[in-house]
């Protein structure tokens, strides 16, 4: 079921989204060689609380998961695409670190992700990160009344294809509001004009996840998802409202 948000609800979501963007920027600055992902998680927890919001992922139990998520942040390294659990892992020069973070502000969720290139990353990694950022921008550009979810997916998939990268299988964006995950599912591939029509009041977490190799993924022991062939992956995400005038990015 689609849940449409009023203009005042979208304003609240933008306030939460702005807080999230600030926290994520601080975390990205702190993401460097020698730092553990647990350190980033603690910082995320503190910064979210300081902003007057609450962590969204902590204690969240996604459908089908064996247990509630025990951390504030998802920190996924290199071939790990999403849901990487913070640990004592020490970030290395050359790592691709995907920071995925959500918060709850005045009962509304915001969700965003960035990929940080640590130190000297290789040319393929740079190209992958640039393509994934471009895919997100291309998807957001499709957001306007009368376009469809298929238009978003088509735009994202096209950028992946043009760069000879793959869209990670089975991982999608989602509607968002008073719940972290709402309808609709936002696929990172699609056909022009297919799927649900975009209408003002819809709020979507658009999140391209690209792999340098094949798109097949596997679930590993901390329940995170990694590429099956071990190739690098990148991830960017914004929470975006559909307005009469087009996209309004709420996580800025
Ligand atoms: Mg998300």
**Tens digit of pLDDT for each residue in 117-150?**
999 999 999 999 999 999 999 999 999 999 999 9
Which class in CATH covers the domain with range 7-249? alpha beta
> What pLDDT is attached to residue 66?
80
User: To which residue do tokens 């994202």 refer?
Assistant: 156
Contact at 8 Å (CB) between 73 and 101? yes
> What pLDDT is attached to residue 252?
97
The total number of residues written for the chain in this structure: 252
> What pLDDT is attached to residue 62?
76
CA of 236 to the centre of ligand 1 (A): 9
CA of 180 to the centre of ligand 1 (A): 8
CA of 152 to the centre of ligand 1 (A): 15
**Which residues in 196-230 are b (16+ Cβ under 10 Å) and which e?**
eebebbbbbbbbbbbbbbebebeeeeeebbbbeee
CA of 42 to the centre of ligand 1 (A): 20
Among 103, 85, 96, 41, smallest CA distance to 209 is for 96
* Regions of the chain with pLDDT less than 70: none
Give just the sign of the alpha carbon dihedral 120, 90, 231, 171: negative
> What pLDDT is attached to residue 65?
77
């Amino acid at each position: 079921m689609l849940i449409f948000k009023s203009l005042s609800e979208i304003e609240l979501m933008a306030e939460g989204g702005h807080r999230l963007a600030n926290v994520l920027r601080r975390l990205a600055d702190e993401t460097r060689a020698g730092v553990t992902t647990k350190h980033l998680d603690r910082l995320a927890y503190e910064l979210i609380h300081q902003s007057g919001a609450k962590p969204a992922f902590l204690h969240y139990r996604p459908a089908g998961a064996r247990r509630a998520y025990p951390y504030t942040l998802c920190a996924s390294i290199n071939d790990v695409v999403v849901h990487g659990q913070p640990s004592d892992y020490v970030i290395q020069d050359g790592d691709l670190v995907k920071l995925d973070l959500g918060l709850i502000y005045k009962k509304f969720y915001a969700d965003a992700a960035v990929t940080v290139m640590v130190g000297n990353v290789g040319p393929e990694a740079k190209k992958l990160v640039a393509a994934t950022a471009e895919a997100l921008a291309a998807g957001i550009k499709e957001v306007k009344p009368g376009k469809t979810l298929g238009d978003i997916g088509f735009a994202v998939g096209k950028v992946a294809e043009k760069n000879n990268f793959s869209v990670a299988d089975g991982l999608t964006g989602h509607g968002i509001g008073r719940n972290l995950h709402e309808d609709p599912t936002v696929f990172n591939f699609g056909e022009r004009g297919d799927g649900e029509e975009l209408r003002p009041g819809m709020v979507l977490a658009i999140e391209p996840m690209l792999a340098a190799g094949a798109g097949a993924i596997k679930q590993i022991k901390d329940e995170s998802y990694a590429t099956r062939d071990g190739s690098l992956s990148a991830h960017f995400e914004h929470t975006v409202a559909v307005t009469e005038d087009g996209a309004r990015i709420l996580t800025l």
